[in-house]
Structure 1
Amino acid sequence: MKIILTGATGFVGTEVLRQALQDPEIERVVVLGRKSVGTAHPKLHEVVLKSFLDYAPAADQLNADACIWCLGVSQTAVSRDEYIEITYGYAVAALEAMLQANPGVRFCFLSGRGAEQEERASTLYGKIKGRTERELSRLSPNVFNFRPAFIKPAYPGQKRPFAPTAFLPLAWVVDKFTDDFSVDAATLARALLDVAKHGAQEKIILNRALRHWTPQGASRAS
């Protein structure tokens, strides 16, 4: 199968890309980005976009089985308008373009805990992530919204900004008492890829489900 990936240089996206390139079920990975990921692999095809609102330059690459959307930005790193454009505008424009190439494309949107589709959340993050989930789901029945909580490294030493890194020791403690607090990037990536390949019954996938994810392909093969 062929998948499209965005945010491939980010904290979760790099792990999704690593696993996708090793996955025998995936024949081709098309990475849409502003710059090269710096990796050479027979399965990998990169498309450099000037704008994530204009997919005409990538039109011949958009006919894919699935897209994993890991592109995102912190609400504290950009202005309100920029955050809305990056979080909502980019994802909606991408799905609209991909649906023209393949109406059945699966779209796995990396959202987050606190997203509220009715936009009643107190944070800009919660409102706009929720708005994006709602609009993507309106466009297609094959949209899956992933809502991880705190995301831990996929492996020891994986780089992350200072604030979440400093928060990591607390996550290891709290995880002993609840499945709702965190998930590691490797487990999250496996769930994203599994749904991209096989779909899922739930359209909104919460942190607890991600931590205990059972691969759909394995259950179907058994």
Structure 2
Amino acid sequence: MKVALFGATGMVGQGVLRECLQDAAVSQVVCIGRTPLGTQHPKIEELVKEDLFALDQIEGSLSGLDACFFCLGVSSNGMSEESYRHLTYDMTLSVAGLLARINPNMTFVYVSGAGTDSSERGRSMWARVKGATENALLRLPFKAAYMFRPGVIVPLDGIRSKTASYRLFYTLLGALLPPLQRLFPRSISTTRTIGLAMLQVARHGAQSPILGPADIHAAASSETASGSRHSLQ
């Protein structure tokens, strides 16, 4: 399986990349982003593009893909709706539209968030924009598309968030998160479970196009049970 990964330097993306590199069935991971990974691996093909609206210039490197894991995102804190929509809806659909055209048999997996507003009419700006993005992605002619809506995410395996406010959150509550995740595994996701769940739905699909924390955990558990993958804990 050949996959594309957007946002590999972010917290979720790092977890997804780690699981892809450990999966024997994944032959290549094409990592597309604005900044270099700083990681080398025989499976990785890295494409550094400052302008992600201009991927037609590297279209040849994006063909023949089986799946795309889109983990790229920005915080809405301090942003106008127009600016947030441009970097969330417009950019995601620009990328996805190109990929759908050249890889019609692709499965597209998008990291959204718990509380996303599918009606696009709620009070929360970020939730409306994410909802509009999800709805538009589900209308594209992919083989399949899945929207991941994790809530609290516990970083494992030495992974850290690039966002300062998130790092502060993990510093303050870091010691509590692992035991909480063990107590409530279906409510709290980890970077590991998200990566495993993405691989599972890329290979086998899911009952619903929208996966919340419990669905993500179930998919990751299925992926672990299907082979010799490591424990979710």
**Partner residue of 1:56?**
56
* Shift, 1:196, TM fit: 2.1
Q: What is the match of residue 103 of structure 1? A: 104
Q: Does 1:6 align with 2:13?
A: no
Residue type of the alignment partner of 2:28: R
For the residues of structure 2 that align with 1:60 and 1:176, how far apart are their CA atoms? 44
Q: Structure 1: which amino acid aligns with 2:85? A: I
Query: How far 1:211 moved relative to its partner?
Result: 2.4
Deviation by residue 1:153-190 (Cα, 9 ceiling, x = unmatched):
123x5323213442445655665775564211111111
Q: Which residue of 1 aligns with 2:93?
A: 92
Counterpart Cα distance in 1 of 2:217 and 2:78: 28
Secondary structure at 1:158's aligned position in 2?
Answer: coil
Given the two structures, how large is their TM-score scaled by the length of structure 2? 0.85
- The equivalent of 1:206 in structure 2 is 212
Contact 2:114 2:149 in 1 (8 A): yes
* 8 Å contact from structure 1 (residues 149, 180) kept in 2: no
TM-score (ref. length: structure 1): 0.88
Q: What RMSD in Å do the two structures reach over aligned CA positions? A: 2.3
Pairing of 1:8-47 with structure 2 (within 5 A): 8-47=8-47
Please name the residue that 1:112 is paired with. 113
**In structure 2, do the counterparts of structure 1 residues 165 and 115 end up closer, same or farther at CA, with 3 Å as the change threshold?**
farther
1:48-77 Cα offsets, whole Å, 9 max, x none, are: 113121211220122211100000011115
Aligned to 2:172: 166
**Residues 172 and 70 of structure 1: CA distance in aligned 2, closer, same or farther (over 3 Å):** same
Separation in 2, partners of 1:192, 1:91: 18
Q: May I ask how many residue pairs the two structures share in their alignment?
A: 219
Range that drifts further, 164-173 or 69-78:
164-173
Aligned to 1:129: 130
Stretch deviating more after TM superposition (94-103 or 210-219): 210-219
Identity percentage over the alignment?
A: 34
User: What's the counterpart of residue 69 of structure 2?
Assistant: 68
Give 3-state SS (helix, strand or coil) of 2:131's partner: helix
Amino acid aligned to 1:195: V
Question: Residues 198 and 217 of structure 1 are in contact (CA less than 8 Å); yes or no, is this contact kept in structure 2?
Answer: no
Amino acid in structure 2 at the alignment position of 1:13: G
CA distance in structure 2 between the aligned counterparts of 1:82 and 1:30, rounded to whole angstroms: 28
SS at match of 2:35: coil
Q: Distance in 1 between matches of 2:106 and 2:181?
A: 35
Q: Give the 3-state SS of the residue equivalent to 1:154 in structure 2.
A: coil
Structure 1 residues 217 and 96: CA distance shift in structure 2, 3 A: farther
Give the structure 2 partner of residue 193 of structure 1: 199
Deviation at 1:125, TM superposition (A): 1.6
Give the gaps of 5 or more residues in structure 2.
Answer: 162-166, 228-233
Say if 2:222 is the partner of 1:215: yes
